Each structure stands twice: as C-alpha cells, then as structure tokens.
Amino acid sequence: MAATVFVLAPLPLGSVDLAWVCIWTGILAVSLLAARIDRTCTADLAVLAPIFVSIVVIAVIVCLQMWPNGLAGLSDSAWRNAREQLGADVPDRVSLTSSVPWLNFGYYLLFALGFSRAYLLATDARQAQRLLHLLAYSGLCYALYGIFAQVFLPETLLWRQKEFYLQFATGTFVNRNTAATFWGSCGLIFLIQFVRAVLHATDDPRSERIKWLDRPGTQAACCAVCLIAVGMTGSRAGILVTFLSMFFAVILYLVPLQLGRESFWNFVRTAFVVGVVGLALVGAAAMSRISEIGLVDAQRLEVYTTALKMIRGHELLGFGLGNFEAAFPLYRPAALGSQGIWDRVHSIPIELAIDLGIPAALCIFGIAAFYFVRLVRGALARKRDRHIPVVGAGVFMLGMLHSCVDFSLQIPGYGILFASIVGCGLAQSISRSARPAKRQEQQEQIEF
C-alpha cells in the first residue's frame, strides 16, 4: 500500500487536487497501522518525535486561526469589515478564510504520514535499499515519459491539453520547476549508487553476479536519462540546485573513505569537471534564459519584498494556513502590473511565516536543520549502507534549496517522494548495532 502511494502520487498531475490528497492520506494511514516495528529502537523516537511535534503544532495553530471569536485581539480586520459594510453575520477569526486552513492541513498530514511510513520501512536495511530502488526506477519511468511526451506530444499533458510551458518538459506535473526537482532527486539516487558501485565493486565477492540493474553502466545511463529530463524543463533553479546537490552528495560519500589526500582531491576535481560539463550540456536552455532575464526574476523579488511586509502585524499566528492567495491582492504592488496570478509566494520559508506566524515557522526550520544534521552525521559515521543517508542528505539539500525560491515541496507528487527519501535516509543514519537483531540473526548467534 505504501509503495502504491510512493509510485503513483506524481501521476495525477502531481496530486494537487484535494481528492488525491485524501486518497493517499487514507491509504498511508491504513498502511502505517499495519507497519512492523520490530526493528525500531529508542533512537528512532528522537527522529520521529519532531515530525509528530510539528504536525501537532500546525494543528493547534490552525484551531486557533479558525476559532470563532476566540482571539479578538488577533482577528483579521476583514471579518469586521464584512459585518460593518455588508451586514454579514460572521464571527471574528485570525484566519482570513473560514475553511482554507483545514483543507491545506491535509497535505501536511500526508507529508508526515509518508515520512513516517518510509522511515518504518527503512529501519530494515534491505527494505531501505528496495525502497530507494523503487523510487529511483519509478522516477526513471516518469523521466522517460516526460522526454517522450515533449518530443512527440508537446501540447499534451497526460489526458488533457497542455496550457503552460509548451516548449519545456513537465512530465506528469503542470509546473516545470517541480518536474525538475522530481527528476533531479531520482537522478541523485542513481548517481550515488553509481559512485558506490564503481568504488566498491572489487570489494564485493559477488560483483560478477550482480544484477544488470545494479551495474555501474546501468546506473550511469539511468542518471543520464534523469538529467536529460531535468535539462528539458529549462528550469534555472531546478538545474543549478540539482547539480549543486549532486556535487555535495558525492563529496559527502567520499569524505569518510580512506582514499588518501591525493586520490580524494583527484576525485573532487573529476566530479567538479564532470559536473561543469554536464551542466553545460544539460542546462543549455536554462543558461540561455539566465543570460536573457538574469538569475533572479525581478517580479519574484518584488513579491518577496511585499510578502515580508505582509508579516508585520501578523507575526504570531499569520493569516491562516494556505491564505496567501486571499491576502496578497490587498498588498499587491503596482510594479507587478495586472498580469499574473500569485497564488504562492514561490518561497516556502516566507510563506510559512505568512501562513502560520514566525514562531511556528522557526519551529519548522529548526526541525529541518535537525534532520539535515542527522543525515550528514549518519553519512559520515555509518560504515555499511552509508549511501542511503548520503542520498537522503543530497535530496534534502536539493528540495530545501529549491523550496527557498519556488514551491516544489508544496506539490504532493514531489513532496511524498521527498518525504520518503529523507525518511529512508534518516532511518539508516542510525547504526545497525543500535537496532534489535532479526530473528534469523538471533538464531544464527544462538547456534554459533
């Protein structure tokens, strides 16, 4: 059931419709109830507790935002204006709308369920590797479809007419930036598996009998396909962040290895040169857009400035979860003109402060920093299966950096992939010796 959600969530246009969020939430909830916990340990509580705390904090804030006449001193003036000017019989609320916060809370719950389910699956190293393979090869299939659709059916988006980004690949997503981060994350999995296979092929006595799917050539080809798909999106931030995160992940994998100083720096130089050449080949469309309009969109900077001003007066509880679209028109600057619909800030950190207030946003940022440190420490400390926390750290960096300038993590189709990979990496950041042995391992110890 969990695999069904992880694989199919990107398919129905990124699962942005509320109906799909409800369906995936229900399936993951049932799957989580049936999860095995015989491989968990006390160290897992320190990892799972923060995601549980964050969901509780968001739920409490949403309740306060929706509480009729509960917090008169913090209520939005729109409700008072509705009573005075329209004669409407409506109570005061902190939230600018009466239903949007609870509807948007569903995605946060889905994200937490996907993270928790992937984490519990990945407490077993073999299951963790199978999960990464599943995510990587499903992403490869989406990349192949995206390339095929852009070459042969550029005006079609699955079963409907494509309205935006006709010159760029988007796969099953509406937005090309989300597609770029999705394919980049899958390509990063293949890249680290490729590096691992090349460096440790001679260490494995079964190297001659490795399945063709796990061979270095196959991993390199799959990574190349994903990168081609990323390049066809033309996403400036998506392409740059993908290559930056890949370079970071490769260095993170190499640091603990006893390669010697000269060999290490040779690997670093090689990775840098390959990255620059790959960026030049894959990111041609993005580089041309950067040369034309610059690295940062002027309109987006204007929205960021305006959004930061919106926080004043709503620092404690914000405008209500998911209410940026309703609140922004009142603050929209004339410099933006009349074109364009800004339903998102295109920066998740800023939008969190607007939706939930500064304290909740800082709490979520702190949890994110805690998880990243855990992933890096696990990648440096683990000896076996170390590539799993390395992948988790690389994808975490990719998703978080891109979320600072866009909204890819707010799309369930990518958010579930991100949550599952990070959950998988965090589960394997804990040493195997800290976990209870399997029954078979215990029996072998007894017999020995």
* Span 363-409, pLDDT tens digits: 999 999 999 999 999 999 988 889 999 999 999 999 999 999 999 99
Residue with tokens 């702190």: 366
Helix (H, G, I), strand (E, B) or coil at 160: strand
Mean pLDDT of 271-297: 67
Average of per-residue pLDDT values in the chain: 88
Bigger pLDDT: 289 vs 194: 194
Q: Quickly state the pLDDT bin for 443 (edges 50, 70, 90).
A: very low
363 CB-near residues (< 8 Å, 6+ apart): 53, 54, 57
The dihedral through the CA atoms of 351, 356, 359, 364 has a sign that is negative
As a whole number of angstroms, the distance between CA 43 and CA 92 comes to 44
As a whole number of angstroms, the distance between CA 193 and CA 190 comes to 5
Bigger pLDDT: 363 vs 259: 363
DSSP 342: -
The verdict on pTM exceeding 0.85 is yes
Helix (H, G, I), strand (E, B) or coil at 156: strand
Give the rounded percent of residues in the chain with a pLDDT score beyond 70: 90
Mean pLDDT of 98-116: 95
**Could you tell me how many residues make up the chain?**
448
pLDDT at 182: 98
pLDDT at 201: 61
Tokens of 343: 């339903």
CB-count burial class (<10 Å; 0-12, 13-18, 19+) for 188: buried
pLDDT at 219: 93
Mean pLDDT of 115-134: 95
Residue 161: phi and psi, rounded to 5, are -75, 135
Q: Quickly state the pLDDT bin for 290 (edges 50, 70, 90).
A: low
pLDDT at 89: 86
pLDDT at 444: 43
pLDDT at 271: 76
Q: What is the pLDDT of residues 199-218, one digit of tens each?
A: 876 445 444 445 767 788 89
Mean pLDDT of 6-17: 96
For every residue of 326-361, which 3-state class applies, written as one string?
A: HHHHHHCCHHHCCCCCCCCCCCHHHHHHHHHCHHHH
- State yes or no: pLDDT of 429 exceeds 90: yes
Q: Quickly state the pLDDT bin for 308 (edges 50, 70, 90).
A: very high
User: For residue 103, how many C-alpha atoms fall within 13 Å in the half-sphere facing its CB?
Assistant: 12
DSSP labels, 102-121: HHHHHHHHHHHHHHHHHHHH
- State yes or no: pLDDT of 447 exceeds 50: no
- State yes or no: pLDDT of 72 exceeds 70: yes
6 CB-near residues (< 8 Å, 6+ apart): 114, 118, 131, 134, 135, 138, 416, 417, 420
Q: Quickly state the pLDDT bin for 96 (edges 50, 70, 90).
A: very high
pLDDT at 287: 64
Yes or no: say if 358 and 105 are a contact pair by the CB < 8 Å rule: no
pLDDT at 4: 96
User: For residue 91, how many C-alpha atoms fall within 13 Å in the half-sphere facing its CB?
Assistant: 12
Bigger pLDDT: 411 vs 281: 411
Mean pLDDT of 253-260: 83
Residue-wise burial string across 400-409, b where 16 or more C-beta atoms lie within 10 A, e elsewhere? bbbbebbbbb
pLDDT at 265: 74
pLDDT at 207: 46
Residue 160: phi and psi, rounded to 5, are -130, 170
Q: What is the pLDDT of residues 38-55, one digit of tens each?
A: 888 899 999 999 999 999
